[in-house]
């Protein structure tokens, strides 16, 4: 649609130019008539008047031998000419200067242009050609021989051909010839299309003329000189503004751009180096606290970023609000959204930042470090660079209490509910493991704490994974050094959590790892929303063993796992496993058998009896409400 509009406008402009040329011809004819009328004032208006006859005779003498007293060399041929005609047209050919001249050598000029000039000298007729080069040469030739009227005619002809792409060239020509009319016309086009002009349009213009033009057109000549990539003009600016440096180098233009940033975004290293050597501030920030380094990283500019780092930019500067450092920005790049080349560039920037002393432990407004963000973005390139940094703190938590390892284990989930997994990856089936190259495994190899208890609840990572239903992550942690008997603020262990959530595989693994099935909770757990239907069996109860939990929350498969473990433990040589004690009572004086009978879980009760539970330890009637109540 836009191309069609442009085509229509160009066609319209062409028609306007043609009309302009016609009007110029009519104007020339009118001016000629006016000249004749002025000369014939108080004379009889007749074709037989002296002036009319004189002009006709002069026109007829063009290239004629009659009365010729001069030869003009045009290319390799000679043209018959007349000194009095030339003298009448220009002082350059006065009769005095031509008195002893037999020949004029104009062979250095374009023959066609020279013949057009001679024809005009004799006949006052000028055929315009829509050829800007031809008209420009004719105008230069007219200027050379002081043919003012011809030059003015050429100016008007050239004006009909001026457009955005050639206006700079014609402005330069007009300035050289002091053709004020054409120069002013070109200046108007330049002013109205200033932001549309490209660096190629200025390539042939001298530094002095371009600098003069830029200064007349913009309040920020340095920025424009950089945009057209003219280092010579930048030098002229620096010389003129020497007394006002470096303040002038750090000015923002109307678009909010800094001169140094413009140079860097165009990969103009020489200009950027010159600006820095003249004290341009490499740490200038915008109203949002974004430095040039932040901006370079945001646009994926390896050249600009490395240049700034090498030239001493602050590598740990944080933005306002979000509090993001350059390392945060490189960590945010994701292989899902960016090419491998871009990801590699971000890794190179991260390496340069760290070598320059960037703090890898800075936290943004959400408490996340670059390490947190690299895991969220799955940015293995930057993740690798961060792991190599000796100053890296693996245990910093964001405002949600999450360490880097906690975020890493979120990539494996057994939940079909996408809200459980904060990442874009599809959930995987139960049993999927983390290989040695996974983010989580490498964090543990680097020394991440597999427990990292939450300050509010006391839950370790294993418990948090179980709470979230992420059994695969919990299994990974359980087999990689997590404390299986860690207790949270309520005295609950990971085994309690697994039993409460019905995670049979995790329960089995925890028991294999030495989890104590006889540890009892110290306080009643907050009642979960999903357990409202089980209020009578789970509410305000403490001193529960993991088996109490499995029965209270109706997870018979978990009960079976514990009973099977007891049977195996009785015959096992491995003393790591602890035999469950069925006689332990909760705060309601209920053993696990009593709880099963009380809640109507007769199948489980039968299994318990078969596994050695004693009926004599069991209260068969509901206990008095509040007995041994937990606070």
The per-residue pLDDT for range 580-625, each reduced to its tens digit, is 999 999 999 999 999 999 888 999 999 999 888 888 766 555 555 4
In degrees rounded to 5, what are phi and psi of residue 104? -110, 125
Token pair 């010159």 in the structure block, residue: 274
Give the orientation angle of helix 302-310 with respect to helix 269-277, to 10 degrees.
Answer: 30
195 has pLDDT over 70:
yes
- Choose the most confident range, by mean pLDDT, from 28-37, 150-159, 285-294, 310-319: 310-319
Residue 294 to residue 80: CA distance in whole angstroms? 74
In degrees rounded to 5, what are phi and psi of residue 74? -120, 110
Q: Mention every residue, 6+ apart, whose C-beta is less than 8 A from residue 331.
A: 350, 370, 371, 373, 374, 377, 379, 382, 383, 386
Asked whether the beta carbons of 437 and 425 are under 8 A apart, the reply is: no
**Which 3 state secondary structure label does DSSP give 492?**
coil
Sheet holding 103-105, edge to edge: 77-81, 70-74, 103-105
Task: List, in sequence order, every beta strand (DSSP E) within 373-459.
Answer: none
Token digits of residue 451: 């427990």
- The domain over range 527-631 is classified in CATH as 1.25.40: yes
Task: Count other C-beta atoms under 10 Å from residue 225's C-beta.
Answer: 29
Q: Mention every residue, 6+ apart, whose C-beta is less than 8 A from residue 138.
A: 113, 116, 117, 150, 154
Residue 471 to residue 479: CA distance in whole angstroms? 12
Give the orientation angle of helix 302-310 with respect to helix 340-355, to 10 degrees.
Answer: 10
Flag whether the pTM goes above 0.85.
no
Q: What percent of the chain has pLDDT over 90?
A: 59
Domains of the chain by residue range: 58-161, 527-631
Token digits of residue 147: 């043919």
Same CATH topology for 58-161 and 527-631: the answer is: no
pLDDT digits (tens, 9 = 90+) for 509-566: 999 999 999 999 999 887 765 555 555 556 689 999 999 999 999 999 999 999 998 8
Residue 151 to residue 153: CA distance in whole angstroms? 5
Local structure of residue 198 (DSSP, 8 states):
-
Class of domain 58-161 (CATH, top level) = alpha beta
Token digits of residue 173: 């020509």
Scanning 40-93, the segments in alpha helix (DSSP H) are 50-60, 83-89
pLDDT digits (tens, 9 = 90+) for 391-434: 999 999 999 999 999 999 987 544 445 444 445 454 444 444 57
**Which 3 state secondary structure label does DSSP give 183?**
helix
Residue 191 to residue 214: CA distance in whole angstroms? 10
**Which 3 state secondary structure label does DSSP give 88?**
helix
Rounded to a whole number, what is the largest CA-CA distance in the chain?
A: 151
Task: Count other C-beta atoms under 10 Å from residue 321's C-beta.
Answer: 10
pLDDT digits (tens, 9 = 90+) for 62-111: 999 999 999 999 999 999 999 999 999 999 999 888 888 999 999 999 99
Token pair 């120069």 in the structure block, residue: 183
Task: Count other C-beta atoms under 10 Å from residue 228's C-beta.
Answer: 18
Residue 580 to residue 519: CA distance in whole angstroms? 10
């Amino acid at each position: 649609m836009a191309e069609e509009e442009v085509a229509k406008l160009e066609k319209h402009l062409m028609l306007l130019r043609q009309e302009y040329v016609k009007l110029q011809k009519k104007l020339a004819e009118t001016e000629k008539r006016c000249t004749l009328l002025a000369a014939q004032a108080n004379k009889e208006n007749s074709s037989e008047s002296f002036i009319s006859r004189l002009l006709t005779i002069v026109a007829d003498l063009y290239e004629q031998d009659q009365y010729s007293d001069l030869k003009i060399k045009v290319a390799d041929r000679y043209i018959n000419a007349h000194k009095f005609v030339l003298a009448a047209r220009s002082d350059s050919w006065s009769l005095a200067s031509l008195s002893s001249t037999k020949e004029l050598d104009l062979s250095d000029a374009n023959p066609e242009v020279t013949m057009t000039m001679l024809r005009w000298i004799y006949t006052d007729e000028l055929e315009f050609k829509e050829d800007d080069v031809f008209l420009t040469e004719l105008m230069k030739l007219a200027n050379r021989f002081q043919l003012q009227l011809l030059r003015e005619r050429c100016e008007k002809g050239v004006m009909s051909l001026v457009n955005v792409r050639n206006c700079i060239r014609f402005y330069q020509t007009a300035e050289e010839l002091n053709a004020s009319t054409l120069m002013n016309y070109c200046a108007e086009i330049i002013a109205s299309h200033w932001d549309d002009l490209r660096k190629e349009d200025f390539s042939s213009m001298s530094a002095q003329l371009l600098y003069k033009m830029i200064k007349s057109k913009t309040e920020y000549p340095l920025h424009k000189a950089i945009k057209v990539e003219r280092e010579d003009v930048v030098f002229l600016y620096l010389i003129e503004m020497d007394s006002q440096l470096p303040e002038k180098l750090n000015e923002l233009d109307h678009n909010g751009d800094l001169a140094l940033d413009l140079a860097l975004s165009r990969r103009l290293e020489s200009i950027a180096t010159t600006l820095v050597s003249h004290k341009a501030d490499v740490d200038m920030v915008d109203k949002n606290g974004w430095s040039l380094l932040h901006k370079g990283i945001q646009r994926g500019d390896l050249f600009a970023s490395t240049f700034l780092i090498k030239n001493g930019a602050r590598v740990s500067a944080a933005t306002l609000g979000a509090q993001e450092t350059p390392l945060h920005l490189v960590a945010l790049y994701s292989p899902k959204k960016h090419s491998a080349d871009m990801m590699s560039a971000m890794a190179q920037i991260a390496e340069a930042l760290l070598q320059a002393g960037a703090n890898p432990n800075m936290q943004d407004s959400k408490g996340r470090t670059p390490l947190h963000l690299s895991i969220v973005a799955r940015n293995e390139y930057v993740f690798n660079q961060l792991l190599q940094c000796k100053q890296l703190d693996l245990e910093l938590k964001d405002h949600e209490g999450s360490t880097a390892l906690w975020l890493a284990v979120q990539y494996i989930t057994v939940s079909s509910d996408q809200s459980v997994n904060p990442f874009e990856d599809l959930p995987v089936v139960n049993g999927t493991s983390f290989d040695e190259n996974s983010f989580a495994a490498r964090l543990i190899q680097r020394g991440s704490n597999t427990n990292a208890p939450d300050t509010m609840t006391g839950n370790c990572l294993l418990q948090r994974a179980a709470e979230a239903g992420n059994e695969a992550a919990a299994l990974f942690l359980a087999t990689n050094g997590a404390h299986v008997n860690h207790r949270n603020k309520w005295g609950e262990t990971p085994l309690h959590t697994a039993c409460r959530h019905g995670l049979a595989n995790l329960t089995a693994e925890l028991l294999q790892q030495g989890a104590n099935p006889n540890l009892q909770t110290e306080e009643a757990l907050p009642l979960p929303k999903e357990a409202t239907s089980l209020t009578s069996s789970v509410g305000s109860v403490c001193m529960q063993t993991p088996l109490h939990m499995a029965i209270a929350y109706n997870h018979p498969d978990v009960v079976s796992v514990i009973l099977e473990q007891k049977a195996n433990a009785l015959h096992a040589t491995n003393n790591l496993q602890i035999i469950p004690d069925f006689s332990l009572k909760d705060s309601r004086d209920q053993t696990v058998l009593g709880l099963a009978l009380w809640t109507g879980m007769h199948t489980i009760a039968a299994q318990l009896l078969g596994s050695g539970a004693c009926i004599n330890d069991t209260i068969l009637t509901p206990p008095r409400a509040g007995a041994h109540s937990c606070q």
